[in-house]
Amino acid sequence: MAKLYHTQLVVSSIADNLAWIIVLNRLTDDAARWAGPHIIDLVDGKVIWSSVDAFETAFEAHFCAVDDKKAALTKLIKLCKASQKLGTAKDYTANFNAIAARTPLSDEDKQACYVDGLLYKIQNEFAVTVHEIDTLEKAQKVALHMDQQLAER
């Protein structure tokens, strides 16, 4: 049974990677140069993007113009100010990651911006509990867990 599952998983991964290779081979100019190392990784069997959205985020982060980065930064600031209206940390985190990938902010600045934009109830939980949130990923993981706990109360 385990062998069958592993075989299906490997075949699925190969088919997905082949589809990505076909897409990347159609790129031209700078995009083709950017795609080269990714094609090599795909041929080696690595899964680079879990979805089309993940690919788009990576592609846009690499190729968006300075004006787009400024626009994304403005959009991120608006998102952080309006996050109280979004409802859940899951929605806020998804929107934040999509926009933050296109900004020129450092990882530390993204983390600070993310925490500042969290729902007040989660910010309060951060303030009264001890959590190691030295990276954006850790802060997001803790915030999502807290949001889930608060929803269950």
The encoded tokens of residue 12 equal 């699925």
CB 146 within 8 Å of CB 133: no
CB 118 within 8 Å of CB 126: yes
* pLDDT of the residue at 10: 42
- The label of the residue with tokens 């500042």 reads 116
pLDDT of 66 above 70? no
Average pLDDT over residues 1-24: 62
Q: How many whole angstroms separate alpha carbon 79 and alpha carbon 92?
A: 8
pLDDT of 1 above 60? no
Q: How many whole angstroms separate alpha carbon 108 and alpha carbon 54?
A: 21
Q: How many whole angstroms separate alpha carbon 93 and alpha carbon 131?
A: 18
Q: Which residues contact 65 (CB under 8 A, 6 or more apart)?
A: none
pLDDT of 84 above 70? no
* pLDDT of the residue at 141: 92
pLDDT of 9 above 60? no
pLDDT of 152 above 50? yes
Q: How many whole angstroms separate alpha carbon 32 and alpha carbon 53?
A: 19
